[in-house]
Amino acid sequence: MQVDVLAADDLKKTAPVFGQLSFDNHEQVVFCNDKDTGLKAIIGIHNTVLGPALGGTRMWNYNSEWDALNDALRLSRGMTFKSAITGLNLGGGKAVIIGDAKTQKTPELMRKFGEFVHSLSGKYITAEDVGMDTEDMDIVREVTPYVTGISESKGGAGNPSPITAYGVFMGMKAAAKHKFGSDDLDGRKILVQGIGHVGEALVEHLTNEGAIVFISDINPTRLEEVSSKYGVTIYTEDPYDAEVDIYAPCALGATINNETIHRIKAKVIAGAANNQLQDENAHGLLLQERGIVYAPDFLINAGGIINVYAELEGYGKQEIIRKTENIYNTTLEILKTAQAQSITTHHAALKIAQQRIDDRKRENLN
Ligand code: NAD
């Protein structure tokens, strides 16, 4: 008995990556360290069956390196399914840089990070995510071609956030159609949690459509700015208790968890944040049981990846918009499938994405 306990403990110590809950047969995980610039980054490459692993870089002050590793693993896996379901020939990858983007991000650090990306010879292609701007990607571009999301003035497709927000808006409308019978958001009460790059652009679409918008953020300056710009209400209480029709998580992931799930009063959840469900099986099921329509995050927040993919494929703005608008149809189809098969919406989306990967894998073998 004692031997078994020791063996389990030893395994935990010796299997810090393969033993992680969020490890899902990732192909490669790269730890990047540079003493001079202070860079500490983790690049997760989940799957490259459909193409190179493309996904943004997040800079965040993680509580621990374990949190950073888990974020890299979860986010890179999400990218695999996002590109697969969107019909893009891309695999899934993501990078995290440990640190405060406001105080610790320097051009030297970004260049060094770019060198690490370059060392992977195109297997991983980066872009911006939380804590990053197009300007940061321009710096990365100085040392590697394996970067997207660079400025339009430098030949890139520019900031992907407005397109991401448009895709979320499309997905939200589809979810509203499924739940309420109409995709018109005029008069609907919607809470947007996190009013950063994507959240603000989403607020603009929603107010243009006549929705009654509430905003929540940890940054009081942003709240004031966005509230006065769009005439929307700052929600000062805990956002999970809000009496709204739609909850749009646009901050960080895992906001739908054991603490929050029973409090959510919204009938629809549709937002930009990656990995909204802390436990995609248990929490997906609970939402289904509670009759809350959940628009899978990796499906409706794909506008950004569509935008940066254009840089690789060379398609223009019109095609970006067309592909992003199609999120409406795909979302509707997946919500219907989930209902017909009595499975969670997350599972329905995952099944279709996995099927595409499996089909390609079979083709590649033949
Ligand atoms: P951002 O950094 O510009 O904005 C995030 C906002 O969330 C900030 O205003 C921040 O203050 C706020 N925030 C952080 N923690 C919070 C909390 N606990 N409660 C409330 N607010 C909080 O990031 P972004 O680019 O707008 O991305 C938002 C989310 O969408 C992220 O999860 C990102 O991974 C996802 N996403 C973004 C894109 C894109 O194109 N930018 C694409 C796909 C997915």
Whose Cα sits closest to atom 9 in ligand 1? 196
159 CA closest ligand 1 atom index: 40
How many angstroms does the Cα of residue 194 sit away from the middle of ligand 1?
Answer: 6
What's the CA-to-centroid distance between 336 and ligand 1, angstroms?
29
pLDDT, mean of residues 87-100: 97
pLDDT tens-digit readout, 125-178: 999 998 999 999 999 999 999 999 999 999 898 888 999 999 999 999 999 999
Q: What is the pLDDT of residue 15?
A: 67
pLDDT per residue as tens digits for the range 184-198: 999 999 999 999 999
Kindly tell me if the per-residue pLDDT of 5 is higher than 50.
no
Report yes or no: 351 and 338 within 8 Å, Cβ to Cβ.
no
Burial class of residue 342 in the structure, from the number of CB atoms within 10 Å of its CB (0-12 exposed, 13-18 middle, 19+ buried): exposed
Average pLDDT, integer, range 274-293: 96
Cα 273 to ligand 1 centroid, rounded to whole Å: 6
Residue having the nearest C-alpha atom to atom 1 of ligand 1: 196
3-state helix, strand, coil in the chain (%, to 5): 50, 15, 35
Binding positions for NAD(+) are 194-199
The mean per-residue pLDDT over the stretch 79-96 comes to: 97
What pLDDT, on the 0 to 100 scale, is given for residue 252?
Answer: 87
| 190 or 1, higher pLDDT | 190
DSSP code, position 91: E
Residue 222 has pLDDT above 80, yes or no: yes
Question: Residue 14's pLDDT is what?
Answer: 54
The CA–CA distances, whole Å, from 277 to 19, 252, 254, 260, 285 equal: 21, 11, 5, 11, 10
Three-state DSSP class for residue 173: helix
The tens digit of pLDDT for each residue in 332-351 reads 999 999 999 999 999 999 99
- Identify the residues whose C-beta falls under 6 Å from ligand 1: 129-130, 160-161, 164, 193-199, 216-219, 222, 250-252, 272-274, 301, 304
Query: What does the block give as tokens for 22?
Result: 């969020």
3-class SS at 228? helix
* Domains, the chain: 25-75+94-154 (3.40.50.10860), 161-354 (3.40.50.720)
pLDDT at 151: 92
Q: Which one from 40, 82, 94, 123 is the annotated catalytic residue?
A: 94
Count the neighbouring beta carbons within 10 Å of the beta carbon of residue 204: 18
pLDDT for position 333: 97
pLDDT band at 20 (very low <50, low <70, confident <90, very high): confident
- Residue to mutate (ligand 1; options 130, 226, 311; most atoms within 8 A of CB): 130
Atom of ligand 1 nearest to the CA of 297: 44
Does the annotation count 82 as an active-site position? no
9, pLDDT greater than 80: no
What confidence tier does 21 reach under pLDDT thresholds 50, 70, 90?
confident
| pLDDT attached to residue 158 | 85
Question: Is the whole model's pTM more than 0.75, yes or no?
Answer: yes
CA 48 vs CA 26, 66, 227, 275: distances in Å: 10, 24, 42, 20
On average, the pLDDT of the chain sits at: 94
CA of 2 to the centre of ligand 1 (A): 46
Write out the binding residues.
194-199
**What is the full DSSP assignment across 30-88?**
EEEEETTTTEEEEEEEEE-SSSSEE--EEEE--SSHHHHHHHHHHHHHHHHHHHHHHT-
Residues 6+ apart with CB under 8 A from 334: 296, 299, 345, 348, 349, 352
- 140 three-state secondary structure: helix
Distance 6 CA to ligand 1 centre (A): 41
